[in-house]
Structures are given as C-alpha cells and as structure tokens.
Amino acid sequence: MRKPRALRFGDRVAIVAPASPFARDEFDAGVAELRALGFEPVWDESVFARDRYLAGAAEARAEAFRRAWADPAVAALVAARGGYGSVQLLPLLDREPILEAPKAFIGYSDTTSLLSWLTLSCGITSFHGPMLERRFSRGDAGYDRDSFLRCLCRAEPAGPIAHPHLVALRAGEATGMLVGGTLSIIVASLGTPYAFDPPRGCVLFLEDVDERPYRVDRMLTQLRLSGILGRASALVFGELKGCDEPGGDPAIRDVVVSLTRDFPGPVLFGLPSGHTGGAIVTLPLGVRARVLTGGAPALIIEEAAVC
C-alpha cells in the first residue's frame, strides 16, 4: 500500500464535491471547523455547481478532483457530502497520476466508490471519515476529533477504536486488511469494471442507512453468493441507522445475527463510522487491523495509514 504523508498544521486541504450538492451554511461551518483544526481549506468554485441531484456535470467534478490531487500544495482531499454521483467519476480518472502523488481522501456514504477505487485498485490508503455536511459542520457533535487526528496526523498505528455501543455478535479474533464502506454502494459496484474486490483474509466493514431489513438481507446475500463474505476473516458492522423494520420487528441487529450465524470469524456490530446518529469515527482503509471480541470489543488499527 502507498501511504500519503501525515497532515501537519497549516496544510492545505481541498474540498471537493464528487457527488450531490450541499447546503451553503453547512459548507461554511465545515470550512470553519477545518480551520479550527489548523488546516487551510481550499476549493475550486466549481464545487458550488448544481445539476439537479448532482454537484455539476461529471467531467467538471472529475476535473476538480484531478486538479486538487495534482496540486503539490494540497495535502489532502475531503468530500463536501455524499448523496449520489461519485461512481460517475471513476471512468474519468487515471490511476497513474493518482499513484504519482498519494494523498489522503476522506469521505463516506456515496464516496465509498472513490474510497474503494483508491484503496483496492490504486493501492493507496484512504479514510472512511467525516465530510463537511453534517459532520465537520457540527464540530464535536458531528465527528470524533480523536480518531480523525490519530489516523491522519500521526505516522503510527491509530490503535484501538472502540465505542460503548460496539458489541460482539460472534466471538473470536482475526487480523487482516481493513476494507469496506457503505453496503449499498459496494453491492452496486459488482458486475462493473470497478467491482469491489477485497483481498482474502480482510477485515470487512459494512454500514448503511435507512435500508429495511429485507434489503440488508438481499445485499448481504449477494455478497455471500459472490464470494466476498467468504474472503473476510472478520465482519464489522456500523450502526445500520434507520434499518429496523418500522415498528421495530425485526430489529436490524437480530437480522444481522441470523445472516452471520455461519460466518466462521468474529462479528462486531455498532461501530459509529459512516451514517451514525452521533459523532462519526474515522477508519483508515487499506491498513492491517485486528478484531477483538473478548472483554470490551474493539477494532485495533495495527498499521500506520500515513507516513
């Protein structure tokens, strides 16, 4: 894996909009939070473009991403929001310029398309973490500052990432490359030239929002039948916020218990990275991680994600 350099005080962080448009007040509040962290946010005016449910035409969004990545003065890229549209950039991006200058890219939700491409196709560590809208824009209520700084600003393993709501559904211990993201985006990639293709023995993180239990069942079944679940040494689920059946029966946690009953490794549930009702935890993708279920369940990041 190629690793971006650790972020430092005063670094320029480019804000890009690879997917849907965003609220300007959320953008401004997110910019203020990045400045409070000691970074210098920069952006191209095309970030404010609007094309129905997209933040401008695909070529314009891809060009802004390419320019930010190629700019030697930019240390990292962070997405303004998710929504839809990141997958449209993939045919418009070339691997070689990306590989020449590894940089940190931070996002979640729809930007899972870019995170997976960077990590699994380009071999560059990426970061499942806060975007501007509803995350950086809300300060401590929107994102976990500690895990963000540990993952992006220190050239050392981030160590334990735990949470009071994190529970073990299946006991065990396993180690592997941490990969994953939003379940529906991962499943939508299958059958395309950009299909999610994790290595055998990986620690697979899966999260989503507002998907009813039968849809989660369908998507996990697809991952099982495609052989992807069989490559994982451990499964780590997010909160799956809003995924209980209306009325609460079945609860999504019970559905996950049933669907993973034959999985041979450990299974954790409730890690608040991605769509969460609280502060989002940052996860580095493409690095070695260990899942522990004894005592307090935890995901241990055993390898630095930056250099």
Minimal CA–CA distance to 295: which of 175, 160, 148?
160
| pLDDT of amino acid 295 | 85
* pLDDT per residue as tens digits for the range 289-304: 999 998 899 999 999 9
Look up 165 and say whether it is catalytic.
Answer: no
Please report the pLDDT score of residue 276 as a whole number: 97
Which of 109, 113, 189, 273 does the annotation list as catalytic?
109
Looking at residue 177, what is its pLDDT? 98
pLDDT, average across residues 79-101? 97
The size of the chain, in residues, is 307
Q: What's this model's pTM, rounded to 2 decimal places?
A: 0.98
Ranges of beta strands (E only) in the chain are: 12-16, 40-43, 74-79, 104-107, 126-128, 159-161, 167-170, 173-182, 202-207, 232-237, 267-269, 283-285, 288-292, 298-301
Candidate list 207, 233, 239, 273, residue with the active-site label? 207
159-301 under CATH 3.30.43.10, yes or no: no
The rounded mean pLDDT for the chain is: 97
Active site (annotated) includes residue 275: yes
Return the amino acid letter for 246: P
CATH fold of 12-143 reads Rossmann fold (3.40.50)
Alpha carbons 229 and 222: distance in angstroms, whole number: 9
What are the φ and ψ backbone dihedral angles of 96, each rounded to 5 degrees? -60, -50
Q: How far is CA 50 from the centre of its chain?
A: 24
207 is catalytic: yes
125-167 pLDDT per residue, tens: 999 999 999 999 999 999 999 999 999 999 999 999 999 999 9
Domain ranges of the chain: 12-143, 159-301
Catalytic residue selected from 133, 163, 233, 275: 275
At 187-199, the pLDDT tens digits run: 999 999 999 999 9
Instruction: Please determine, for residue 32, whether its predicted confidence score (pLDDT) is greater than 90.
Output: yes
